[in-house]
Structure 1
Amino acid sequence: MASAQPGVHALKLQPPSVSQTLRNGSNFIKWDEDLSTVSPVTLCVDPHGFYLYWTDQNKDTELLDLTLVKDVRTGRSTKTPKEAKLRELLDVGNLVGRLENRMVTVVTASDLVNVNQLNFIASQEDEAKVWCEELFSLSSNLLSHNLNRDHTDNGVIVCCSIVRLFSSDRKRVENALESCRLPYGRVNTSNYMCVHT
């Protein structure tokens, strides 16, 4: 009779690896059906694979913690615009491929009830597929869910990034910042640009 080995299995966690494509960023069109808005953005991921962020033409940047991402979709399972006028705005120009195959829908949730979708459109199907696969891989990386992401390489936290990160719960964040005597809302933050860790 063969001797049995104890049922111990080691799971080796790999740190997130962000491709050069995601670090350098790609041009997308971000659309919002509720607001009927379409805006060109540059979509990027930070070198550590913690955050997805996009910058619009006015240089305004929005930030999303990748641990909040539950799914990333392209093709038939994406959200497509119902409004015909919005659909026409998105399916114009020299864009290559079917609209659905160029879409990237990022599904986020802070809990089981508050589920949101961010919708982006790439200029080509291959680009959408690469972003979809790599974003999902980063968002489902178990090791990155437990790494410290509270500081940059130089040990600085930008206060306005904290508010953007928790935009779904903005009022509570503003109240917490106010109680700590930190800037909140649309105030001059020149004296409070960063918090050293």
Structure 2
Amino acid sequence: MASAQPGVHALKLQPPSVSQTLRNGSNFIKWDEVRNQICLYPLSKLETELLDLTLVKDVRTGRSSKTPKEAKLRELLDVGNLVGRLENRMVTVVTASDLVNVNQLNFIATQEEEAKVWCEEVFSLSSNLLSHNLNRDHSLLKAYVKLTLQPNAEGRIPVKNIVRLFSSDRKRVENALENCKLPYGRVITLNHSFYY
């Protein structure tokens, strides 16, 4: 009688690695049909918007992406020396913190290949199992990076950002800051380079 093999499959978990294409960055146009506005990216340092990749549920391009319904907005997005069909240059990033709160961010790339590469790479990063199950040290580093990427005009971290990031219980966070002998008032700011 042959011995039975257990039904366990080995899954090799690889830490997420950001490709050189994503590190170099690309220019996208962000559009919003509800507000009927178009934004050029990258934004200035003071207007940084952050999106946690663990909230990204899908990244779409081509027929699966969202295209503007309004003809005027489609015309605005399809100007200049952009290469390829409009729908193939569209990138839709679907985010959700739960099953009810689903959002879509819509971008347009200058070339079809650029949209395809970004979709594949961002989806690969967002679906990495290790990034969804970080250890304590990586979670704290992730929080630190989030805080340092959103400084105020003087380049300092507002305490209100720390409160918003770590807890809805403001008093608890302020007590923790006070116990660490850090400033803890709501309008106080911290110099981020000093504490790293």
Same fold (TM over 0.5): yes
Match of 1:158 in 2: 147
Q: Distance in 2 between matches of 1:143 and 1:62?
A: 24
Q: Which has the higher strand share?
A: 1
Please give the root-mean-square deviation of Cα atoms over the aligned residues, in Å: 3.0
**TM-score computed with the length of structure 2 as normaliser:** 0.75
Q: 1:110/1:83 Cα in 2 relative to 1: closer, same or farther (>3 Å)?
A: same
Corresponding position: 1:4 with 2:4: yes
Contact 1:40 1:57 in 2 (8 A): no
Corresponding position: 1:122 with 2:109: yes
Larger radius of gyration: 2
Q: Which has the higher helix share?
A: 2
Gap runs ≥5 in structure 2 = 152-160, 175-183
Match of 1:66 in 2: 53
Contact 2:55 2:95 in 1 (8 A): yes
Contact 1:70 1:109 in 2 (8 A): yes
Q: Secondary structure at the match of 1:131?
A: helix
The one-letter amino acid of 2:9's match is H
Instruction: Count the aligned residue pairs.
Output: 171
Q: Distance in 1 between matches of 2:41 and 2:185?
A: 27
Equivalent runs, 1:73-92 vs 2, <5 Å: 73-92=60-79
Q: 1:17/1:156 Cα in 2 relative to 1: closer, same or farther (>3 Å)?
A: closer
Match of 2:37 in 1: 37
**TM-score computed with the length of structure 1 as normaliser:** 0.75
Match of 2:19 in 1: 19
The one-letter amino acid of 1:151's match is L
* CA deviation map 1:134-191 (0-9, x unaligned): 1111111111111223326xx66627749xxxxxxx9x9398374334576xx6x6x3
* CA deviation map 1:78-97 (0-9, x unaligned): 11111222111111100001
